[in-house]
Amino acid sequence: MIGILSAFGAATSWTYACFIWRAQTQKYKSIDINLTKNIIAFLIFIPAFINLSSTTALKNIFILLISGIIGIGLGDTFYLKSLQKIGTRKTLSIETLSPLMAALSGEFFINENLTTKSWVGVIIVTISLFIILRKGNDFKEKNSSSSEKNNFKIFAFPFLSVLCAVLGGLLSRMVFLQSNLSPFLTTEIRLLGAIIFLISLKGFKINFFLKNIEKKQQKRFLLSILLGTNIGILLQQVVFKTLPIGVGWALLSTSPVISLFFAKNEEREITKKIIFFTCFLFFGLTLIIL
């Protein structure tokens, strides 16, 4: 039950944070947004290193650092870049691949064999998410040119985001299966890996853009970091610790449904078809959970 509640909590936190980060992608580079939020989140969670023991296997620390580089450093940057290039709905449409990819990776790499019922649930969740997003009206995409919309190369950003996120999650799950490390500590180690990678990529030049935005936006951005990065990743780590990755990822992928609560802000129309497939999605989740 803890894993299930954590998954919905992580999805809710991430959804809210993305509404704030999306506005910044029109003004600043995705890599700068990602680096800034990760540094601040890392500083908030720095007390986690108190739990780091000399008996902690270096192998597990190394795997978590790689997990942070791939899942947070690369994955979040690709995600933010995708929001900037093709908008939210198209990005999330491709992200509906994540439950299936996670389930397949869990089965192939760490022998987490899901039951037939769970596989049916994962497929239902994937199809329902895709249809919900396809039936929704487009989000505002003021900066997307017609040439960009027709350029299939830009769809590499959301696909790479999914791939990196799933690989990062898989590596975290592997560490939890091999150790007793806490979600709190693993979150901080993953953030450290992402920061080292992004700073290196930037040539050790940090564009701390937070000082350039008005105070009201600064407060919103800091809140989004606390919710989307600190609490979001911490709850995500709880999911990876307590649930098979295929099951956990299906629950984490409910962000598009949660975003329906923000439909007015995004000028989306909630149709009867969306309501139907939202109910169908929860039927799929029930199959996975029970």
pLDDT band at 261 (very low <50, low <70, confident <90, very high): low
Residue 140's pLDDT is what? 43
Angle between helices 116-135 and 98-109 (to 10 degrees): 150
Residue 62 has pLDDT above 90, yes or no: yes
Residue 143's pLDDT is what? 46
Question: What gap in Å lies between CA 211 and CA 191, rounded to an integer?
Answer: 22
Report the number of secondary-structure helices (H) and strands (E) in the chain.
15, 0
Question: What gap in Å lies between CA 165 and CA 61, rounded to an integer?
Answer: 18
Compute the mean pLDDT over every residue in the chain, rounded to the nearest whole number: 81
pLDDT band at 142 (very low <50, low <70, confident <90, very high): very low
The residue among 7, 48, 43 whose CA lies nearest residue 181 is 48
Burial per residue of 242-263, b for 16 or more beta-carbon CB atoms within 10 angstroms, e otherwise: bbbbbbbbbbbbbbbbebbeee
* CA-only gyration radius of the chain, Å: 18
Quote the DSSP letter at residue 213.
S
Confirm if 116 and 283 have CB atoms less than 8 A apart.
Answer: no
Least confident of 92-106, 126-140, 182-196: 126-140
Q: What is the pLDDT of residues 162-197, one digit of tens each?
A: 899 999 999 999 999 998 899 999 999 999 999 999
pLDDT band at 19 (very low <50, low <70, confident <90, very high): confident
Global confidence as pTM: 0.83
pLDDT band at 81 (very low <50, low <70, confident <90, very high): confident
Residue 83's contacts (CB-CB under 8 Å, 6 or more residues apart) are: 18, 21, 22, 25, 91
Residue 145 has pLDDT above 50, yes or no: no
Mean pLDDT to the nearest integer, 208-217: 75
The residues spanned by each domain of the chain are: 2-289
What share of residues in the chain are helix, strand, coil (percent, to 5)? 80, 0, 20
Residue 286's pLDDT is what? 82
Between 131 and 148, the higher pLDDT residue: 131
Residue 152's pLDDT is what? 61
Mean pLDDT to the nearest integer, 137-165: 63
The residue among 171, 134, 143 whose CA lies nearest residue 81 is 143
Residue 120's contacts (CB-CB under 8 Å, 6 or more residues apart) are: 284, 287
How would DSSP label each residue in 80-142? HHHHHHH-HHHHHHHHTTHHHHHHHHHHHHS-----HHHHHHHHHHHHHHHHHHHHSPPPP-T
Long-range contacts of 112-121 (CB under 8 A, 24+ apart): 112/244, 112/245, 112/246, 114/244, 114/246, 114/247, 117/287, 117/288, 117/290, 118/246, 118/247, 118/287, 118/288, 120/284, 120/287, 121/250, 121/284, 121/285, 121/286, 121/287, 121/288
Residue 1's pLDDT is what? 79
